[in-house]
Amino acid sequence: MKYCQARQGRIFIIRLEDGDIVHESIEAFARKHAIQSAALIVIGGADKGSRLVAGPEEGRSEQIAPMVHVLKNVHEVAGGGTIFPDAAGNPVLHMHMACGRKNDTVTGCVRNGVVVWHVMEVVLFELVDNTARRAYDAITGFDLLAP
C-alpha cells in the first residue's frame, strides 16, 4: 500500500449536457479551473453507442487486452472516479460507471467515450496539498496512481 494525505479544496456541482463526452468534458473543466486532483461522483444517463472498457480479455496475463463494451441503448448510470495529473501535469480522469437498463448492468471505465444522454450530474471534490500523480507502469502498461 502506498498513500499520501490531502485536504479538501473547492467543491463543484456540474451538469453535463446531451452529447457531452464524459472524460473529455470533465478533463476540460479541470484544466479551465486549475484542478489537479479530485474525487468525483456521477449519476445520469448514458446514450447508446457509449463505449466502456469492461475488463481485460484474460485474467492475469503478460499482455493486457482491454474488452470494449458498446451500449446498445440508453442506460442509467452511477459512478465514481478520481482526477490526478499525468507526467506532463495534465489532469486525467479515471472513472468507472455502472450502466443499467432493465435487468442488465455493465460496469466499466469511461475512457473510451461515454456519451451523455440528456443529463449527467457530477459532484467534484477538489483535493489539494498532496503529491499524488499518475505514473507509467511498465508491467501493466497503465498510468497508475503514485501517491
Question: Quick check: is 21 in a domain?
Answer: yes
Q: Which three cell numbers stand for residue 100?
A: 443499467
Domain that holds residue 122: 8-129
Question: Quick check: is 143 in a domain?
Answer: no
pLDDT, one tens digit per residue, over 28-78 is 999 999 999 999 999 999 999 999 999 888 777 667 788 999 999 999 999
Burial track 75-110 (b if 16+ CB lie within 10 A, e otherwise): bebebebbbbbeeeeebbbbbbbebeeeeeebbbbb
- The answer to whether 91 touches 33, Cβ cutoff 8 Å, is no
Question: Quick check: is 105 in a domain?
Answer: yes
pLDDT, one tens digit per residue, over 87-112 is 999 999 999 999 999 999 999 999 99
Question: Quick check: is 1 in a domain?
Answer: no
Q: Which three cell numbers stand for residue 9?
A: 479544496
> Bigger pLDDT: 132 or 55?
132
Q: CA 137 from chain center: how many Å? A: 19
Question: Quick check: is 142 in a domain?
Answer: no
Say which CATH number the domain at 105 has. 3.30.1330.80
pTM of the entire predicted model: 0.94
Question: Quick check: is 54 in a domain?
Answer: yes
> Bigger pLDDT: 79 or 142?
79
Question: Quick check: is 144 in a domain?
Answer: no
Can you name the residues that pair with 12 across neighbouring β-strands? Answer: 124
- The answer to whether 85 touches 134, Cβ cutoff 8 Å, is yes
Domain count, the chain: 1
Question: Quick check: is 136 in a domain?
Answer: no
Q: Provide the H-helix boundaries in the chain.
A: 22-32
